[in-house]
Structures are given as structure tokens and as C-alpha cells.
Amino acid sequence: MQIFIDSADTVELAALAATGLVDGVTTNPSIIAKAGKPIFPTLKAICEIVSGPVSAESVALDHDGMVAEGRKLMAVAPNIVVKLPLTMEGLKACRTLTEQYGAKTNVTLCFSAVQALMAAKAGATYISPFLGRLDDGGQDGMELIREIRAIYDNYGYETQVLSASIRTVAHVRDAALAGTDCATIPPNIFRALYKHVLTDVGLEAFLKDWKASGQEI
């Protein structure tokens, strides 16, 4: 499973990318606005930090506007993925950008399996189902991942499932078990993935015993 970081903080992204465990980055208008810097220099810096896919979202609402913005975003770097909303205009733009301009696309704000089916038919490179937001509304977000996985496998769609709106380490685990291709997670969740209290306890015991032995390596 590929792990993406959901952030536009270039300092933090550089630190996490140094682990060699970051496969890509996702952004959205809210994340870019929070970074407090102009969008194009920020995206360029992110693409220099991470060689994998970097999702950058259009803010237009109509097909022509999305295509125009998508082409501008694509010009930033070869690893830019144009992010589009799961609307009729967004799906039309997905088809145009994919077929006419060779863009990689990420169709976002997916909340149902049939929406994911439509995105795959439109040629999306990635589909982003929002787990946490479904959970917030009392629905089972992980069931959506299982449904999308089954539909894509049934028909051989190449669109990759990119689990988004991940709030916990358990979300990452369950998404992996459900067969997601990728998960995009906040930096704090990424840092929590390798942690376990028994790991810390075991390491402390090993080092205590080694120190008592008086040996060196």
C-alpha cells in the first residue's frame, strides 16, 4: 500500500520524506490556504521534495475552467496529479484531461460506491473516498472501501483507491486490510504508525541489559 501525506507544509514534508516511506502527497484548497504561501511555488517545492504523485486541486466548477486550471497545474511538474471534484463537470473534465492531455487525475469527495464507479468510467487515475467524514455521519466509511475494491476488481478498472479523510491508525490498518491501493494521512498519523508501547518497553529492556554487560559494538 502506498502512503501519501496530506499536507502542504514543505518543512514537515521534507522531514517525513527523509524516512524514505512517503510515496506521494495530497493537497486541497484548504490545505494550500492554510500553508499561507502562493500555490504554484508551494506545489513546485513539494514536487521537488517528493518524486511520487502530488495531487493539486482545481477550484473551478465548470468543465472548461477545470481543464484550464488542470493544464496550469500540470505545467508545475511531471508528477502533478490534477484533483477534481466528483461532480458531472468534474467527471467530464477528468475525461478530457486524461484523454486529450495525458493528465493523471484524482477524483475527490467520493462518498458512495456508484460515484467511484462513475469516476473509474471517466478514466480517473485515483478515486478518493472520504472515510472519516462518513464515520462522522454515522456511516461505515470502511465498508465503502470494500465496496469500491469489489467493483473495481469485478470489472478490471485500473483506477486506484486512495483512502482519504483518515483520522486514526486503525483507519490505516483497516483500509489496508480492505485492499486500498493508497492512503493519504495527516503527518501526525504517519508518525504514529510505527509506534507501540511494547516496542518502547522491549527496546528499553534490551538496552538496559546491554549496558549491564559492559560490551560495545
Q: Which residues are catalytic?
A: 83
Distances (CA, A) of 88 to 41, 66, 114, 204: 30, 12, 13, 56
**106 neighbors 162 (Cβ within 8 angstroms):** yes
**Integer Cα distance of 110 and 70 in angstroms:** 19
| Residue 185 bridge partners (DSSP) | 5
| Residue 4 bridge partners (DSSP) | 24, 184
**Integer Cα distance of 166 and 4 in angstroms:** 11
